[in-house]
């Protein structure tokens, strides 16, 4: 591991100050440390957010509030979530490996970097990393996204898909917003898929009410411990079915339940993923009824 400093402040203001000074925010560290080690994200200092008292799951009324540094495994094991938000529990269970679920935090999971073997290649500097080229589009993109754009990497957060269909909101150090607004397309000027400003970090995610039914279905490259090739979440509130997917775009993406592959044409090497998306969308829809 390359050398860098480490701070574990107990005060959010101190953490924010360190982050404004250029430090990297860390939850479980499972995504961050591999990026630091490969030189994808250079950093002199890492700020561990786990001593800020941001862990915990609170059920109140119909909703649930999950602290940003709550581990993914604790979400998966929470009885209330399992009962009222089965799609969220399934998504938590689909994250990485058992050890990564124990270490990984909800905030870190929502803010993790895109998956792309060029983005994570130690010797290449792709467009999203500030370079000139999206290597994936001229190279081997068999597992990449279906949405045209400057970058065809894929958003990997299973939790994001499950929370999007629940109308979740995220709370940061400075504001509150719908989860969907946490993400935006990277631009030439700003090569990031998150809207967070320097010094800003997630403190909690809140789901306002429980759906009548919810589910999360994933297709991976093996039976377990695989980032989703495609993951589809669905929730039904009365007659209203919401759907979202990961693995198809570099943002967690809402889908039209009646036409899930709309706007997702893919390239020649990824066209197969449209079929997969349609299958999973149909399975998800069947699971939530109507």
Partner 1 sequence: MTAKLVKTEAVVEGRTEVRWTLVEEDDTPEFEDGAPTRPVGEPTPRISARARTTGSARYTVDVALPGLLEAVVLRSPHANARVTSLDLDAARAVPGVRCVLGPGEGPEHAGSPLTDAPAFAGAAIAVVAADTPDAAEAGVAALAPEYEVLGFVSTIDDGFEKQDFLEEPTEHVRGDPDAALSAAEVTVEASYAVPAQLHNSLEPHAAVADWREDGLTVWSSTQAIFDARSTIADAFGLEPDQVRIICEFMGGGFGSKFGVGPQGLLAAELSRRARRPVRLVNSRREENLAAGFRTPAKMDYTIGASRDGRLEAVEATAMIGMGTGGWPFPVLEPVKSVYACPNLRLMTAPVRMNLGPSAAFRAPGVMEGTFGFEQALDELAEKVGIDPIEIRRLNHTENDPESGKPYTSKGLLKAYERAAELAGWEGRDGLRGDGRVRRGMGVASQYWWGAGGPPAYAEVRIGKSARPTVTVGLQDLGTGTMTACAVIASERLGIPAGEITVHAGDTSRIGHGPASGGSMTLASIAPAVRMAAHSVRTDILGLAADMFEIAASDLTLEDGEIRSVDGTLREPVTEVTGKLGNAWISGSGSRGPNPDGMNVNTFGCQIAQIAVDTGTGAVTVERVVAVHDIGRVVNPMGARSQVMGGVLQAIGFALMEERVVDPTTGTVVNAGLEDYKVPTIADVPEVVCEFVGDPDPHLRMGVKGLGEPPIIPTAAAIGNALAHALGVRLREAPYTPRRVLEALGA
Partner 2 sequence: MQVRLTINGQPHELDVAPHRSLADVLRTDLAMTGTKVACAEGTCGSCTVLLDGRAVLSCLTFASACDSSKVATVEGSTPLLERLRDAFTAHDGFQCGFCTPGQLMSAVALLQRTPRPSRAEIRTAMAGNLCRCGAYEGIEQAVAAAAEAG
Which residues form the interface with partner 2 (CB under 8 A)?
A: 1-6, 8, 29-30, 33-34, 37, 48, 50, 71, 73, 93, 96-100, 102-103, 223-225
Using the minimum distance from each CB to partner 1, give the nearer residue, 195 or 279: 279
Q: Is 224 in the site for partner 1 (CB under 8 A)?
A: yes
In the block, tokens 């990393």 appear at 129
Within residues 263-282, the interface with partner 1 by CB under 8 A covers: 271-276, 279-280, 282
In the complex, the smallest distance separating the C-beta of residue 10 from partner 1, rounded to whole angstroms, is 29
Q: Is 262 in the site for partner 1 (CB under 8 A)?
A: no
Distance of CA 14 to the CA centre of its chain: 26
Q: Out of 9, 82, 131, 139, name the contact with partner 1 by CB under 8 A.
A: 139
Using the minimum distance from each CB to partner 1, give the nearer residue, 45 or 226: 226
In the complex, the smallest distance separating the C-beta of residue 6 from partner 1, rounded to whole angstroms, is 15
Q: How many CB atoms lie within 10 A of CB 140?
A: 11
In the complex, the smallest distance separating the C-beta of residue 76 from partner 2, rounded to whole angstroms, is 10
192 binds, among partner 1, partner 2, none (CB under 5 to 8 A by kind): none
In the complex, the smallest distance separating the C-beta of residue 50 from partner 2, rounded to whole angstroms, is 8
Q: Is 228 in the site for partner 1 (CB under 8 A)?
A: no
8 binds, among partner 2, partner 1, none (CB under 5 to 8 A by kind): partner 2
Question: 210-226: b or e for each residue (b if 16 or more CB lie within 10 Å)?
Answer: bbebbbbbbbeeeeeee
CA 7/CA 203 separation, integer angstroms: 18
Burial class (CB in 10 A: 0-12, 13-18, 19+), 262: exposed
274 binds, among partner 2, partner 1, none (CB under 5 to 8 A by kind): partner 1
Q: Is 125 in the site for partner 1 (CB under 8 A)?
A: no
In the complex, the smallest distance separating the C-beta of residue 228 from partner 2, rounded to whole angstroms, is 15
30 binds, among partner 2, partner 1, none (CB under 5 to 8 A by kind): partner 2
In the complex, the smallest distance separating the C-beta of residue 231 from partner 2, rounded to whole angstroms, is 17
In the block, tokens 């399992």 appear at 82
Q: What three-state secondary structure class fits 136?
A: helix
Q: How many CB atoms lie within 10 A of CB 289?
A: 12
Q: Are 183 and 250 in contact (CB under 8 A)?
A: no
Backbone angles phi, psi at 141, to 5 degrees: -120, 35
In the complex, the smallest distance separating the C-beta of residue 1 from partner 1, rounded to whole angstroms, is 9
Using the minimum distance from each CB to partner 2, give the nearer residue, 34 or 279: 34
DSSP string, 84-107: H-HHHHHHHHHSS-HHHHHH-BHH
191 binds, among partner 1, partner 2, none (CB under 5 to 8 A by kind): none
Alpha helix (H) residue ranges in the chain: 12-20, 32-37, 72-77, 79-84, 86-94, 98-103, 106-111, 135-138, 158-164, 179-182, 272-288
Q: Is the dihedral of CA 114, 117, 122, 124 positive or negative?
A: negative
CA 252/CA 248 separation, integer angstroms: 8
Residues making contact with partner 1 (CB under 8 A): 2-3, 117-118, 121-124, 135, 138-140, 142-143, 219, 221-227, 229, 271-276, 279-280, 282-283
């Amino acid at each position: 591991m390359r050398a860098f400093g480490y701070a574990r402040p107990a005060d959010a203001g101190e953490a924010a100050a360190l982050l404004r000074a250029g430090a990297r925010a860390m939850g479980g560290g499972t995504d961050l440390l591999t990026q630091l080690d490969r030189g994808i994200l250079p950093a002199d200092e890492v700020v561990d957010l786990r001593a800020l008292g941001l862990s915990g799951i609170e059920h109140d009324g119909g909703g649930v509030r999950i602290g940003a540094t709550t581990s993914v495994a604790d979400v998966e094991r929470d009885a209330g979530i399992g009962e009222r938000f089965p799609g969220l529990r399934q998504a938590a269970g689909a994250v990485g490996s058992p050890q990564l679920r124990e270490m990984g935090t909800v905030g870190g999971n929502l803010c993790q970097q895109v998956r792309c073997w060029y983005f994570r290649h130690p010797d290449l500097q792709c467009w999203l990393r500030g370079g000139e080229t999206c290597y994936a589009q001229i190279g081997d993109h068999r597992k990449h996204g279906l949405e045209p754009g400057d970058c065809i990497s894929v958003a990997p957060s299973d939790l994001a898909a499950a929370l999007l269909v629940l109308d979740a909101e995220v709370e940061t150090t400075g504001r509150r917003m719908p989860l969907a607004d946490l993400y935006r397309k990277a631009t030439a000027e700003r090569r990031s898929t998150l809207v967070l400003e320097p010094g800003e970090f997630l403190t909690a995610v809140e789901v306002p009410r429980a759906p009548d039914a919810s589910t999360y279905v994933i297709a991976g490259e093996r039976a377990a411990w695989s980032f989703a090739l495609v993951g589809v979440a669905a929730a039904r509130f009365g007659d209203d079915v919401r759907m979202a997917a990961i693995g198809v775009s570099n943002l967690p993406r809402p889908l039209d339940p009646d036409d899930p592959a709309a706007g997702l044409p893919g390239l020649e090497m990824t066209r197969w993923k449209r079929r997969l998306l349609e299958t999973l969308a149909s399975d998800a829809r069947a699971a939530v009824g109507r």
